Structure 1
Amino acid sequence: MFGRSKQEQLKHRLDTKLNASSDGIDMDVPAEVVNTATVYTGRIFHVDDMTLALTDKQGNKHEISRQVLRHAPCVVMLVHDMSTDRYLIEREYRAGSDMFAYGLPAGLMDEGEDIMEAALRELAEETGVVPDKDTMGVDFVGDFYSSEGMTDELAHIMVLHLGPFKQEKRHFDPDEHVESAWIPWSDLVATRITASNSMIAIQHEALRRLIARHADDENKPSLFS
């Protein structure tokens, strides 16, 4: 184990435990694509029908079938106005859940665009908020697959802590209709938000606020000191 990073050590421990329940497939051998065909192409995503081969510990191949929804990566932002301690919330129609859902600013990345470029572009387009990048703080929460059993969509999730910002005109796509408003933290955590990526960002911020509050409490003078 000497020389391995903590993450590598953890992976080794997990894999050793999991191997005890193996049905024979060698999960150290990458899956092999036997064939793939695009069976649907739409404006936003396409669907591949795939046959893949998994290798067992004797070297034999076992074919499996999967359909994968191919989707551009996206950005998801919890936006915090530090001067007022308020957060941006949105509402728009979501076809998957068939409802006008509450959520956070988010959107697809353009080809060749980096994560922060996409985040600030989507924020400006949907809400008109244009932060001062020199005073803005960014907590990169992580990169998470929306549903890794069926799609390759990767969500880059972050919390933006804004200093000064400008409010400009919004720019929607022709079939896009989004409402946005600033609300206090207490209202945000009480709102029913059903998008998992949005909830990851909110839970991350809840932990940050809890740690900050605990630190403040420890620094307050005690009556008994």
Structure 2
Amino acid sequence: MFNHDKNEQLRHRLDRSLDKSSDGIDMDVPAEVVSSTTVYTGRIFHVDDMTIALTDKKGGKHEISRQVLRHAPCVVMLVHDMSTDRYLVEREYRAGSDMFAYGLPAGLMDEGEDILDAALRELAEETGVVPDRHTMGVDYVGDFYSSEGMTDELAHIMVLHLGPFTREARHFDPDEHVESAWIPWSDLAATRITASNSMIAIQHEALRRLIARNSDKDKPTLFS
């Protein structure tokens, strides 16, 4: 309750400050979808062409046009082997950046799938790593939109601190080609990773390691 009240107070202070630069749009009134037409449908996503009405503080309506890429939610995970203090890194071709990019295990969630179940499924499919769920620690970093101005893709980001794990055969989609390797933290921190969701997980872990080092702790707190 305390944290909720504190967050609400912060939001109200922030909103009052922002209101001073308002051009008249009432941002306490939800946006209204006037029309929405699907203009493209692909295997992974579809695109909606939308007209949206915003309400000003006198009740007037102001229409804006947006195209929104509709995308399934995804999971992104930084995987930490606590026994060796190494991290799992991947490399695969990314069409958006036209690079064979370094990154972290990630993938799309199936409809109705639990977040952690999706993460462990993707981890096994891409890398063959199957953790012992009873000894595994999970730091839920947060839920972040990949690019909220143009897509509704929501990334569920976490750090997995593994105890014992087993290996199984990897299972890729026909057009999926992924390499993976365990590397020390120093190498991961020095690697150029361009995916923002991956960097959120890495920065979260960098902060945890810094706090642990400063408090003379060498292992993360585990949450089963």
TM interval, shorter chain, is: over 0.9
What is the CA deviation profile of residues 170-215 of structure 1, one whole-angstrom value per residue up to 9, with x for unaligned ones? 0000100000000000000000000000000000000000000000
Question: What is the root-mean-square deviation in Å for CA atoms of aligned residues?
Answer: 1.3
1-structure distance, mates of 2:109, 2:42? 17
2-structure distance, mates of 1:202, 1:9? 30
Identity %: 87
For residues 89-168 of structure 1, what are the structure 2 equivalents within 5 Å? 89-168=89-168
Structure 2 residue aligned with 1:223? none
Cα offset, 1:98, TM superposition:
0.2
1-structure distance, mates of 2:161, 2:100? 27
Change (3 A) 1:4 1:208: closer
Aligned length: 216
2-structure distance, mates of 1:65, 1:146? 20
For residues 1-225 of structure 1, what are the structure 2 equivalents within 5 Å? 5-216=5-216
- Could you list the structure 1 runs, at least 4 aligned residues long, displaced by more than 2 angstroms after superposition: none
Cα offset, 1:142, TM superposition:
0.2
What is the CA deviation profile of residues 124-171 of structure 1, one whole-angstrom value per residue up to 9, with x for unaligned ones? 000000000000000000000000000000000000000000011100
Instruction: Look up the SS of the partner of 1:5 in the other structure.
Output: helix
Structure 2 residue aligned with 1:222? none
Partner AA of 1:160 in structure 2: L
Cα offset, 1:112, TM superposition:
1.0
Q: TM-score, normalised by structure 2?
A: 0.95
Cα offset, 1:4, TM superposition:
6.5
2-structure distance, mates of 1:203, 1:197? 10
**Unmatched 5+ residue regions in structure 2?**
218-224
Instruction: Look up the SS of the partner of 1:216 in the other structure.
Output: coil
Partner AA of 1:32 in structure 2: E
**Unmatched 5+ residue regions in structure 1?**
218-225
Partner AA of 1:90 in structure 2: E
Partner AA of 2:200 in structure 1: I
Structure of higher CA gyration radius:
1
